[in-house]
Amino acid sequence: MSRNSRGFSLIELVVTLAILALLASMAVPFAQLVQQRQKETELRAALRQIRTALDAYKQNVKEGRIESPADGSGYPPDLDVLWQGVSDKTKPDASKLYLIRRLPRDPFYPDTAAPPASTWGVRSYASPPDAPAPGRDVFDVYSLSSQTGLNGIPYREW
């Protein structure tokens, strides 16, 4: 009896599903790696942007465009000053200097509803580099994440 078979046998379907499962299990870690790499790129860019704005604030204090207390370090009192603007002493019309358009968030911070300034750890000018602590000003920023980057360095030390 010759039977004209159409379709797939059960064994062919099981083998196909096993191959698809194997491919999917290899794709998930790759997708996670791509996502982590993208967040690392965002972190690098955000740190560069904020640190450039902090340096610009300090330079403007040096040039006399921004008022600073005599005993101050010349760095901003908080991160929000960078995007909210500060009065320009050299302009009689009370215009403001904006050093950054918007304050970026730490991409590794878990709470997406938190204000951007609270997603960063801040280091004051008076604190030592190996034990950053907040103070009267913002000299530097760092990630609050306890994770380690793909390069083996904790994000906190970037």
Alpha carbon distance 40, 77 (integer Å): 27
Alpha carbon distance 8, 21 (integer Å): 18
Q: Tell me what the mean pLDDT of segment 94-99 comes to.
A: 89
pLDDT band at residue 5 under the 50/70/90 scheme? low
- Burial of 145 (C-beta count, 10 Å sphere; 0-12/13-18/19+): buried
pLDDT of amino acid 115? 95
For residue 156, pLDDT beyond 90: yes
pLDDT of amino acid 141? 96
- The pLDDT mean for the chain works out to 91
Please state the pTM of the whole predicted model.
Answer: 0.81
